[in-house]
Amino acid sequence: MTHLVFTVDVDRDAAWPVEGNGTAGTRHKPAPSFDATRKGFFSLLETVNALDVPTTFFFEAATALELEPVSLKGHEIACHGLDHEDFTGKHTDKPFTRVERRTTLQNALTLLENRFNTDIDGFRAPYLGWDLDLLMAIAETGFSYDSSIVQGHLKNPPLPELYLPEWKDALGHKMSGYLWPLMENKRSVQEYVDAVTKSIAQNEPYVVLSTHSWHTHCSVERGDLLLAEANQNIQNVRQLLEALKALPGLKFAKAMDVALQKV
């Protein structure tokens, strides 16, 4: 049995690094915006609820505060930073110090636990930007698992890791578990179904598929999308989840249950 973990990074619209500034902006806009992420989040939630798909939402704390309170019963709430920090400084040339990392992680965790009135187990680094000290800081802050690392990029991490998949597509090109190219009309639903089918055939214990809350309603390349385009993106996510639900040997599970080997 292979477990399918469906995750949504809930962050500001087209979250993008700002040079010299540790916290993120919105691509093509002078200040962070949250309109697309609000629309996309509620559309995706409606979709996974309708299909009964348990979903793990990695919330950026600042975005969680922008959204109207909502029940996430049956789903998992996890953490994706406070202000979408570039902790390692890879994109901004402004790495966070050892102390800044720990303070920021603690603030994000406290804020999310208070906002949702629940314990939080998981962390995913913005931009998937991690290093060993950040992983240590995540563990020290009290998170039980991390999900920022692509399979094969680090053995023996300091806390349980839910690795992100990487496949080769039919043309031999690298393909990740993010639906980014699907939302940008560069990959089809079938390509993701084929990739997951391959993982089931290889007896992989789990596969993580991920998307961003804003991506159905806002293109990284073209900015805010027309309603018809957004509806098509939601339809694509729905079609993909329906196709995956029909695959034999595959069962949906929350990230924490797979990362902590509770399923």
Footprint of Zn ion on this chain (CB under 5 A)?
Answer: 9, 11, 15, 126
Q: Nearer to Zn ion by C-beta: 11 or 86?
A: 11
Q: Which residue number places its CB atom closest to Zn ion?
A: 11
Which residues, including other chains, have CB under 8 Å from residue 23's CB and lie 6 or more apart?
A: 82, 83, 84, 85
E strand spans, 51-155: 55-59, 76-79, 122-123, 145-146
CB of 126 to Zn ion, least distance (A): 5
Of the two residues 82 and 250, which places its CB atom closer to Zn ion in the complex? 82
Q: Which is nearer to Zn ion, 62 or 135 (CB)?
A: 62
At residue 24, φ and ψ (nearest 5 deg) are -90, 160
Closest to Zn ion by CB, 32 or 197: 32
The residue (of 27 and 94) whose beta carbon lies closer to Zn ion is: 27
According to DSSP, the residues that pair with 150 across neighbouring strands are 164
For the CB of residue 72, give the shortest distance to Zn ion in the complex, in Å: 18
Task: Tell me how far, at minimum, the Cβ of 237 lies from Zn ion, in Å.
Answer: 17
| Burial of residue 172, with CB atoms counted within 10 A of its CB: 0-12 exposed, 13-18 middle, 19 or more buried | exposed
Q: Cβ of 70: how many Cβ atoms within 10 Å? A: 10
Query: DSSP code of 48?
Result: H
Nearer to Zn ion, 126 or 160 (CB): 126
User: Nearest distance from residue 127's CB to Zn ion, in Å?
Assistant: 7
The helix or strand, by DSSP H or E, that contains position 10, with its residue range, turns out to be: strand 2-10
Residue 9 bridge partners (DSSP): 58, 212
Q: Which is nearer to Zn ion, 79 or 258 (CB)?
A: 79
What do you get for the CA distance between the two ends of the chain, in Å?
10
Give the nearest distance from C-beta 23 to Zn ion in angstroms. Answer: 12
> Least distance (Å) from Zn ion to the CB of residue 172?
28
Instruction: Give the nearest distance from C-beta 134 to Zn ion in angstroms.
Output: 15
Helices 227-245 and 35-51 pack at an angle, to 10 degrees, of: 30
Radius of gyration of the chain (CA): 17
